[in-house]
Amino acid sequence: MIGALLVGVNYAKGLAMALDVPLIPVHHIRGHIAANYIAFPELEPPFLCLIVSGGNSLIADVRNYTDISIIGRSLDDAAGECFDKAARVLGLGYPGGPVLDKLAQSGDDLHFDLPHPVIEGFPYDMSFSGLKTAVVNIVHNAEQKGEALDTASLAASFTRTVSEILVPRVMSAAAEFGRDKVVIAGGVAANSRIRLDFEKTAREAGFQLFVPPLNLCGDNAAMIGCQGYYEYKAGFSAGMDLDAYATISCQGDGSPDNL
């Protein structure tokens, strides 16, 4: 990954020099949030945002376009990573999200009772490693006993559990932080069950919900360009010593809770 990032950053440096324009660094997670600005031009901060992808599961308070505070995160696996690992143990290939989503639609989502970890004292933090392990154990136990496994119901139960981990935390955070707009971003936002559960819960709670179309849920150049515009407007730019980072926790004042 870092090699591809370095190629991209160096190419951007070359373009900036050749065209005599500013070099604007963009945090990947900020880009995912910005996908919603493309889909919904009327959307403006402040709002509460869930970013769920293969590498991240974060709940963020978006105060303005470049002032973003992380208030909850996964302490181990990301939700998307958990989808991929569950799909792999079921022999469904990679990436796991789309195929698990399709399989789940023909299953009984109450057939398997899967864990819902709670982080004492940190109500908005999440954990998915226990859920992943539970799925692995169910599959391996069935294989060892030579029993047929209802994979559609396991996929449905798994997806329901992920949704039950995400939705209440996000809605509770929105209420606590006084945000009447809830935004979802990242590849896992494409999951049909999670989208439906957020729509239902937001409607019942009286929140406005913004979820990008499927073509803007995954990584894309448009979201980075969009956020780049807001970084430029805020006066953020970089010199030719800009480096690429596969993981970076913060920008701005250096606090790990500021994105």
Categorize the per-residue pLDDT at 257 as very low, low, confident or very high, splitting at 50, 70 and 90: low
Half-sphere exposure of 56 (CA within 13 A, CB side): 27
Alpha carbons 100 and 153: distance in angstroms, whole number: 10
Give the pLDDT confidence score for residue 118 in this predicted structure.
87
Give the pLDDT confidence score for residue 256 in this predicted structure.
45
Q: Which amino acid type is present at position 12?
A: A
Q: What is the average pLDDT across 224-240? A: 94
Please report how the helices 96-104 and 192-205 are oriented relative to each other, as an axis angle in degrees rounded to 10: 70
CA distances from 73 to 10, 109, 131, 167 (A): 31, 25, 16, 13
Give the pLDDT confidence score for residue 5 in this predicted structure.
75
175-192 pLDDT, tens digit each: 999 999 999 999 999 999
Report all structural domains of the chain as residue ranges with CATH numbers, in order of start: 41-217 (3.30.420.40)
Highest mean pLDDT among 94-98, 168-172, 237-241: 168-172
Annotate 111-135 with three-state secondary structure: CCCCCCCCCCCCCCCECCHHHHHHH
Q: List 61's β-bridge partners, or say none.
A: 48, 69
Q: Coil, helix or strand for 27?
A: coil
50-90 pLDDT, tens digit each: 999 888 899 999 999 999 999 999 999 999 999 999 999 99
Q: What is the average pLDDT across 127-151? A: 95
Q: Which amino acid type is present at position 30?
A: R
Alpha carbons 97 and 84: distance in angstroms, whole number: 6
Strands (E) in 44-179, as ranges, are 47-52, 57-64, 67-73
Give the pLDDT confidence score for residue 183 in this predicted structure.
98
Strands (E) in 118-214, as ranges, are 181-185, 208-210
Give the pLDDT confidence score for residue 2 in this predicted structure.
65
Give the pLDDT confidence score for residue 8 in this predicted structure.
82
Alpha carbons 188 and 176: distance in angstroms, whole number: 24
Give the pLDDT confidence score for residue 177 in this predicted structure.
97
What tokens appear for 49 in the block? 């945002």
Q: What percent of the chain has pLDDT over 90?
A: 79
Categorize the per-residue pLDDT at 94 as very low, low, confident or very high, splitting at 50, 70 and 90: confident
